[in-house]
């Protein structure tokens, strides 16, 4: 029997850590398993739902609360909500977790040097040159989760390995039917 209950899968980590890549791959797998899924990518949300917000702590917290509210609505309507946002401050992530309840945090951990090397948008280069104030990991803090359900070390494993570990965690937590049980049907 397929589970029909929604949950939120929250990817957090520095810019360039691999959050969007992993969210897209997990989305694909969940859809293949018959789940309704919606991805809220931090960059996309900022151009629509959070347009006009800056990068002060208050604006960043407002952005994350907005993403969290959408995830909460989707979750209670049997959709898997996947958020992929830097979400630098632990307190607001914990607040969103508490409000949603059915929440799985994935910390995409990457050394700053690796994130800088992956910087396809040139943002780290600008931040290091002082052209972008309040850039997370350079001139603004990132507070890693204290007890995430999954920690991905994206500099040390291939995305497919990370996705397999995320799916295994979702199965172990009871949010996703085990793949082997599905194959037996």
Assess whether pLDDT exceeds 50 at residue 3.
no
pTM: 0.92
pLDDT tens digits, 71-86: 999 999 999 999 999 9
**Residue 107, Cβ neighbours under 10 Å: how many?**
22
- Indicate the CATH number for domain 7-111+142-178: 3.40.50.300
Nearest to 81 by CA among 94, 100, 95: 100
What confidence score (pLDDT) does residue 43 get?
Answer: 86
Backbone angles phi, psi at 40, to 5 degrees: -115, 100
- Spatial separation of the C-alpha atoms in residues 113 and 153, rounded to whole Å: 13
* Domain locations in the chain as residue ranges: 7-111+142-178
What confidence score (pLDDT) does residue 5 get?
Answer: 82
Assess whether pLDDT exceeds 60 at residue 53.
yes
124 and 142 Cβ atoms separated by less than 8 Å: no
Higher per-residue pLDDT: 98 or 55: 98
Catalytic residue numbers?
A: 87
Q: Per-residue confidence at 4, pLDDT binned at 50, 70, 90?
A: low
Q: Per-residue confidence at 184, pLDDT binned at 50, 70, 90?
A: very low
Backbone angles phi, psi at 97, to 5 degrees: -55, -45
Instruction: Give the bridge partners for 140, in sequence order.
Output: 136
């Amino acid at each position: 029997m397929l589970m029909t209950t929604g949950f939120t899968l929250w990817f957090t980590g520095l810019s360039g850590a691999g959050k969007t890549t992993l969210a897209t791959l997990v989305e694909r797998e969940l859809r293949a398993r018959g789940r309704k899924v919606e991805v809220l990518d931090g960059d996309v949300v900022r151009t629509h739902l959070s347009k006009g917000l800056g990068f002060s702590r208050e604006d960043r917290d407002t952005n994350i609360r907005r993403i969290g509210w959408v995830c909460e609505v989707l979750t209670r309507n049997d959709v898997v909500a996947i958020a992929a946002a830097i979400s630098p401050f632990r307190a607001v992530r914990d607040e969103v977790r508490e409000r949603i309840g059915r929440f799985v945090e994935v910390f995409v951990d990457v050394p700053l040097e690796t994130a800088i090397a992956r910087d396809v948008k040139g943002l780290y280069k600008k931040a290091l040159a002082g052209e972008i104030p309040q850039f997370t990991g350079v001139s603004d803090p990132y507070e890693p989760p204290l007890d995430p359900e999954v920690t991905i070390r994206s500099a040390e494993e291939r995305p497919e390995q990370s996705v397999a570990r995320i799916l295994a965690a979702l199965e172990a937590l009871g949010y996703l039917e085990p793949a082997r049980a599905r194959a037996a049907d």
